Amino acid sequence: MFLKLEGKRCLVVGAGKVGEPKILGLIDTGASIHVLALEASDEVKEWARAGKITLELRPFVETDLAGVFLTVVATASRTLNESIYREAQRRGVLCNVVDVPEYCDFYYPAVVRRGDLQIAISTSGQSPSLAQKLRQQIERQFGPGYASWVAELGATRKLVLASDLSPQRKSDLLHSLASRQALEATLIEESTDRESAKEDRRVTV
């Protein structure tokens, strides 16, 4: 499940080495991010100074969950983590207690991003290390060229859907555009363009 978090209130409790990457993962979502911690890493403090998050260096209280859509808990206290999870459950707030699968409504996947293409790998919290290894393999399989190809597919799809073609013809055309042959042709064209640009620079010099 991919959640749209833009404009949603998200709370992160904990801002150390465990919490920092979870905060970073939320920053580009457009969410309103509130971070609570007794201490925070230098990076988290810098994000707060830059206005990317709001940061309060104080203990968590139950009312901090009021109006929150999603919370991530990353403290060193198992007792505190469990109590926040229980309160989140009571309030209907989605909760993830990092590295404690039984206290999670959702899991953080390892994600391969190529522009608008996102491929998520999850082991349901059983082995994040395996998920990371699989991510590395998939990154090699799906190179950077997929980003521009997916963007081109999106633009072309709008044109096809707005056309006067029959529904079946539209479906056939969209499937052909998403074929491996179409991808390979696009990547070859991009490679040729890059080589031409390099040659132009050498000639100019």
0.75 exceeded by the pTM? no
CA of 55: how far to CAs of 9, 44, 88, 118, 149, in Å? 13, 8, 20, 29, 39
Paired tokens of 193: 């363009």
Q: Return d(Cα 140, Cα 48) in angstroms, integer.
A: 34
CB 62 within 8 Å of CB 13 = no
Q: Which of 88-97, 169-178, 181-190 has the lowest mean pLDDT?
A: 181-190
Pick the CATH number of 9-107 from 3.40.1410.10, 1.10.3720.10, 1.10.287.70, 3.40.50.720: 3.40.50.720
List the CATH code of the domain at 109-143: 3.30.160
Cα radius of gyration (the chain): 22
Residues 57-74: pLDDT tens digits? Answer: 999 999 999 999 999 999
CB 110 within 8 Å of CB 51 = no
Beta bridge partners of 118: 113
Residue with tokens 């709001």: 54
Whether 18 shows a pLDDT value over 90: the answer reads: yes
pLDDT value of residue 39: 96
